[in-house]
Structure 1
């Protein structure tokens, strides 16, 4: 397979798991599984699997670099706590709009803030579409309920910011997929699990053992390991923008599936938000022949440094 084809295969794998993430994270709220509990369980399981492998392979030196630790704090602990918490306040469709719909935009902003990568005309068009969709959606929601946005929507948007920063740093630091995934999982467990054990109230008895087992395996193995590996490999082959945009489809599809599966509402306001944010996030007009602007900018920076 060509690198391009490999990239799309990795995107497909990521989409399946991210779509499942949206559904299962909402089920956490319905199954009375605390966001603090599932965050601890997912990283504890990943740690128990990955750490022995790294020790056996004598491949632990990379853990002492700053990059895996920073990625773990941003794309691991903080992202999980905010995103899991948000699902306890709002339906799955809100995640598609305020989390996954905003990830490409937050990625572009992070690239500008961290690496001075300016917005191109496509990003501005996307921004206008997204803001228009959010404005219309908020108006319709306010007319129907008297409330435009909720606390869960804010948490989702914060999660999009964390993931945008995480994506840009991944692209810049060029860690291998294995080191990226293992570093995030292990450092997240090392930092968060002791804090959870010592200071955070547990609600494990509120959920059934079967539900806890299902969620721990899915989030600890498929989300932490498989999806992270596939996502990083896709970024390496297709770029941060195209990868972040296409995988956005999965949560939008999951939001539609959640309507009959979880009995969640789909109001005109939510439909408006899904369509507008979907178009703005995917930016279908620039898929063909697109070269990742962040990668171009980083290559130019390295070329200047090599000449100097």
Structure 2
């Protein structure tokens, strides 16, 4: 298979998992699984899988770096607690708008604040589109739906901030995909699980064991391990922008699928928000630009000629 075809295969895998993340996280509310419990299950399963592999490979030195702990606190514990809590209060469509739609913007702002990376023209245009979409959606929600934003929407924005900071730090520190994923999984478990066991309430008694098993396997294996490795592999073959643009579609598709699957509402205001935030996040006007893989192949062809 060509590198490009491999890249699209990895993108497809990532999209399925990311789209499923929205659906499965929303199912926690229907299955009465608390955010504290699902986060603990996610970290515990990932730890039990990854730690023996790291010990077998004698690849533990990277865990003692300061960067590994910081990434776990922000992209692991901080992100998971806010995003899983948000899904208990807000529908899947709100996640596509306030989480996935805001992630590119939060990433750009974090890069500017932390490392003084200026906004380019594409970021400014995306910002204007997203701001207009949220303004229009807010007006329609208050005028037609007679509802306003809630705590779930605020938690989604906080999740986007955590993921934006995490992405910038990850890029700046240049850790490998394997070490980045393992650092987040291992340290998140080491830090969070003792606190959870000692202080957080548990709600396993009223939950169907099959539901716990399904959520544990999906979030602990597919989300933490498989999607991370597939996403990084896709970036290496297709470039960061094209990969990010394609996989960003998954949560927006999941928001539409959640309407018949989870009986969630989809009003005109939410549709406006989905369209506006989707355009701002995907930046379709940049699709005509060549991706990094194409540029690299052209350089190699020129050298061979």
TM-score normalized by the length of structure 1:
0.90
Give the conservation status (yes or no) of the 8 Å contact 1:107–1:167.
yes
Between the aligned partners of 1:10 and 1:172, the Cα distance in structure 2 is: 24
Between the aligned partners of 1:287 and 1:121, the Cα distance in structure 2 is: 15
Between the aligned partners of 2:238 and 2:75, the Cα distance in structure 1 is: 20
Give the conservation status (yes or no) of the 8 Å contact 1:82–1:156.
yes
Could you say which residue in structure 2 is the equivalent of 1:181?
181
Between the aligned partners of 1:245 and 1:47, the Cα distance in structure 2 is: 30
Between the aligned partners of 1:162 and 1:132, the Cα distance in structure 2 is: 23
Between the aligned partners of 2:195 and 2:243, the Cα distance in structure 1 is: 34
User: What residue ranges of structure 2 are gaps of 5+ in the alignment?
Assistant: 293-305
Give SS of 2:181's match.
helix
1:64-104 alpha-carbon deviations (Å, 9 max, x no partner): 01122111111111100000000111110000000001111
Deviation at 1:239, TM superposition (A): 4.7
Deviation at 1:176, TM superposition (A): 1.4
Q: 1:9 to 1:113 in 2, by over 3 A?
A: farther
Give the conservation status (yes or no) of the 8 Å contact 1:86–1:156.
yes
RMSD (CA atoms): 1.6
Give the conservation status (yes or no) of the 8 Å contact 1:72–1:184.
yes
Larger CA deviation: 88-97 vs 146-155: 146-155
Between the aligned partners of 1:162 and 1:243, the Cα distance in structure 2 is: 20
Could you say which residue in structure 1 is the equivalent of 2:228?
228
Counting matched residue pairs gives: 292
Between the aligned partners of 1:118 and 1:8, the Cα distance in structure 2 is: 30
Could you say which residue in structure 1 is the equivalent of 2:149?
149
Could you say which residue in structure 2 is the equivalent of 1:54?
54
User: What residue ranges of structure 1 are gaps of 5+ in the alignment?
Assistant: 293-308
Could you say which residue in structure 2 is the equivalent of 1:266?
266
1:154-173 map, 5 Å = 154-173=154-173
1:7-37 alpha-carbon deviations (Å, 9 max, x no partner): 4332222111000000000000110000000
